Amino acid sequence: MKKSTFVTLITFCVLSLITACQSSKPVGRDGWLKGTTNEKLETVSRQLRGLDMAMVETGYRYQELYWAVQDTNWRYAHYQLEKLKSAMEYALVRRPKRAEPAQEYLTVALPAMEKVLDAKDVALFDKQFIELTNTCNDCHKNQNVDYYKVAPPLHRQSPIRGD
Ligand code: HEC
């Protein structure tokens, strides 16, 4: 073997070893993320959760949207609508199989709600909120989770109030 080939080979082995050691080094606070790079990514992806936490967030924001409009707090209502949309969009990146059943919600119900908020019409909102609620329940039926029956909120949960 030529000397230069030998040196290249040794350098390659040393670099590979360093890379392997670095990628299996625990990271995060107190090194909670362990294993190879792929194992760490797997752990992070599990921590990001699937649709379940997005739905907990959706349930909260759905209620906040309702009370924001009852308070005619339109900026807060727009904020909640925007977050309802991004909660579902991010969840669908993680769970693409849910994209089809979520179409009506994302492409019809939420945009229609945006128009109603732009119009600042509480009576129209109350009607559209029922439409939105139906879309939630249609998807729950479609996904065989119709024991999650969504209905407009009766009581406030959050400390946020309008003027
Ligand atoms: C993709 C269709 C889909 C749409 C649209 C949808 N959901 Fe869900 N929802 C689900 C599924 C599926 C579950 C069960 C959780 C799971 O399997 O990840 C669920 C569960 C829930 C839960 C229970 C979460 C928990 O773990 O405690 C709530 C609350 C909820 N949805 C509220 C809503 C509301 C409110 C809307 C409408 C504003 C809505 N959902 C729209 C599919 C949907």
Residue owning the nearest CA to atom 30 of ligand 1: 55
| Ligand 1 site, residue 59, Cβ cutoff 6 A | yes
| Ligand 1 site, residue 117, Cβ cutoff 6 A | no
Pick from 58, 87, 56, 68: nearest CA to 125: 68
Kindly give the distance from the C-alpha atom of residue 140 to the centroid of ligand 1, in angstroms, as a whole number.
6
pLDDT of residue 17: 76
Residue owning the nearest CA to atom 32 of ligand 1: 59
Residue owning the nearest CA to atom 21 of ligand 1: 55
pLDDT at position 8 over 90: no
**Cα–Cα distance for residue pair 31/25, rounded to 1 Å:** 8
- 55: phi then psi, degrees, rounded to nearest 5: -75, -35
pLDDT band at residue 9 using 50, 70 and 90 as cut-offs: confident
107 contact partners, CB below 8 Å, separation of at least 6: none
Residue owning the nearest CA to atom 10 of ligand 1: 140
- Among 48, 140, 150, the mutation site with the greatest number of ligand 1 atoms within 8 A of its Cβ is 140
| Ligand 1 site, residue 137, Cβ cutoff 6 A | no
pLDDT of residue 3: 82
pLDDT of residue 105: 98
> pLDDT tens digit string along 12-71?
777 777 777 678 999 999 999 999 999 999 999 999 999 999 999 999 999 999 999 999
Q: What angle do CA 107, 109, 110 make, to 5 degrees?
A: 75
pLDDT of residue 37: 95
Q: What is the mean pLDDT of the chain?
A: 94
pLDDT of residue 18: 73
| Ligand 1 site, residue 113, Cβ cutoff 6 A | no
